[in-house]
Structure 1
Amino acid sequence: MNSATNDYGLWGLVVLNSIIFVGFAYSFFKPANLRDWRSFGAYSAFIVALFAEMYGFPLTIYLLSGWLGSKFPTVNLFGHDAGHLWWLATGQHGNPHFGAFHLLSFVFIFAGFTLLSNAWHVLYQAQRRHRLAVAGPYRFVRHPQYVGFVAIMFGFLLQWPTLLGLVMFPVLVVMYVRLAASEERDSEAAFGDAWREYAAVTPRFIPHLWKGDHDRPFRIH
């Protein structure tokens, strides 16, 4: 294994990128209660752990170094490119930043942040009027902000998979499902039949993309 260079130990970049991606999400999500802070805190923990491995200490590379070193003996495992494990494991060549997994990761990350932004605007307006949020992305799923967080985290796992991230991801998804169920109980108590009618035709997380326009989710007129 060639270990001539080590591209890690850049803790300033860990802090900078964590602030950027946590702050960017905060500007769209704006937690307003304990439940919001729990969902936002889980996302933030994932982001910090991710960048700690991406630029600080490559725990996953270190733990897998024996296997990776035997499988890729000419690769400098502690160079930044090797951290793109999907790119490395599939035997691709060239710049990993232009690889399929990396480019696809940007699609998920961009879609996630776009969903967070659009959902927050709709939810903010609905809360001001004490009405049920059913416009924008809420026409297609009941919890677009949670879907946005999951899309962002999944995108980062496509770009830079880590053992900790792969363990955290399903745990966080389960947490978001439970938070969504708790949120729905509060919504039903607050809006009654309007909520039940909306929930009956609008899926929780996965939109009914195959439905026609006449089957679009519930609207309040």
Structure 2
Amino acid sequence: MNLAVAHRPAALRKGISMDDPVLLLVILDFVFIASLAKIFFRKDGVMNARWWSVSLPIGVIPLFLTVSRIFGFPSLLPDGWLRTTQLVAGVCIAASIALISMTLGTHRVPIALWHQTDDAPRHVVTWGAYRLIRHPFYTGYLLAFAGAFACFPHAVTLVLFLYEAVMLNAVAAKEERKLCASAFGAEYQEYLSRTNRFLPLRMTRPPGAVPSPTDQEFVS
């Protein structure tokens, strides 16, 4: 046996081996999400400061999880709870990957990055993954952040999850306002009346009772 490896702390050896399948699944999901800017979204976008304000946590989370595993950072929860949170993490990450993949298959053409100045709506997608959720990409991202927190309950993963939820909600509301003011406004207002922003729940509003994106600023 290599004496240098033998004398390393147990947490360090475990972290280097990457033998935790849930942790590996979480990291792969975030790599998948980060790759979308290159493999799917339109190439004419600009990665400006506002874009980075939303995107940076996507790179920070897997890095923090890896470092915390290597150095054995303590969790917020007792060890007895971690088996359950690991199961929750696995479910969240599997749902994230499935939903993002379904959304990719729904789109016929690439769409613009968030926070662009020239991202006027070109069409409205209301089928496939968008049938019950207005922003399935963002729901998939939030599931990934929830899975990261469940994988390793820590103040950092919790703060990043909450931060990303607020930021994505703001981005979604801005996109909805832009669509309502576009040539597709009437069609999109009808779509708003029967869908939720992030949750796949059918709406029960009567015809004509259409909430504006401004009214729904903090509504899922």
TM range (shorter): 0.5 to 0.7
Alignment check: 8 A CA contact 1:109 1:151 kept: yes
- Corresponding residue pairs, total: 175
Say what the alpha-carbon RMSD is for the aligned residues: 3.4
CA deviation map 1:139-166 (0-9, x unaligned): 1110111111111111121121122111
Query: Please, which runs of 5 or more residues in structure 2 have no aligned partner?
Result: 1-7, 19-23, 113-120, 205-220
Identity in percent? 25
Aligned residue identity for 1:88 = D
Post-superposition offset of 1:188: 2.1
Give, in whole Å, the separation in 1 of the partners of 2:155 and 2:66.
13
Post-superposition offset of 1:28: 4.9
Post-superposition offset of 1:11: 7.0
Determine if the alignment matches structure 1 residue 197 to structure 2 residue 190.
yes
Give, in whole Å, the separation in 1 of the partners of 2:130 and 2:189.
14
Of 70, 75, 79 in structure 2, the residue corresponding to residue 88 of structure 1 is: 79
Following superposition of structure 1 onto structure 2, how do residues 58-73 of structure 1 map, counting pairs within 5 Å?
A: 58=72, 60-61=73-74
Query: Please, which runs of 5 or more residues in structure 1 have no aligned partner?
Result: 62-82, 91-95, 212-221
Following superposition of structure 1 onto structure 2, how do residues 35-74 of structure 1 map, counting pairs within 5 Å?
A: 39-55=54-70, 57-58=71-72, 60-61=73-74
Alignment check: 8 A CA contact 1:31 1:40 kept: no
TM-score (norm. length: structure 2):
0.65
1:115 alignment counterpart = 99
1:7 alignment counterpart = 11
Alignment check: 8 A CA contact 2:132 2:200 kept: yes
Q: Classify the secondary structure of the residue corresponding to 2:11.
A: coil
Give, in whole Å, the separation in 1 of the partners of 2:51 and 2:102.
17
Of 122, 125, 133 in structure 1, the residue corresponding to residue 125 of structure 2 is: 133
Alignment check: 8 A CA contact 1:87 1:101 kept: no
CA deviation map 1:63-89 (0-9, x unaligned): xxxxxxxxxxxxxxxxxxxx6x64605
Post-superposition offset of 1:182: 1.3
Give, in whole Å, the separation in 2 of the partners of 1:87 and 1:106.
19
